[in-house]
Copies of this chain bind each other. A is one copy, B any other.
């Protein structure tokens, strides 16, 4: 994977991941990796600042919880109402981006 390739698309991926249910950091990394066939291998230094950005913007909400299986409390992130809206916006923006790229590499124009 190319690091630069991910820039500008990470927020979309995180919002979309949380759209299917709340998760904590380690889970997000695992799920993103498995959902993309191992293509996106997020690092902690990538994930946590991104989560904090999204939380600051009110798109997701973090809450420390103790899991049923015990262990230390983990910070579980949940998509908020405005986060659902933002997901829709970012999805549309990605479709525009994707369509624009196809317009060049696809048509040979």
Q: Is the CB of A107 within 8 A of B2?
A: no
- Copies of this chain per assembly: 2
Q: Which residue of B lies closest to A93 (CB)?
A: B2
Known: A12-B105, A16-B104, A108-B16. A96 touches B7 (CB 8 A): no
- Chain A interface mostly: helix
A36 CB–B CB distance under 8 Å: yes
Taking CB atoms, residues of chain B closer than 8 Å to A103 are 35-37
Q: Which residues of B contact A3 (CB under 8 A)?
A: 8
In the complex, which of the residues B31, B32, B91, B104 contacts A13, with contact meaning CB atoms closer than 8 Å? B104
Structural contact, B100 and A98, CB atoms closer than 8 A: no
Q: A residues within 8 Å of B by Cβ? A: 1-9, 12-13, 16-17, 19-20, 31-32, 35-37, 39-40, 91, 93-94, 96-101, 103-105, 107-109
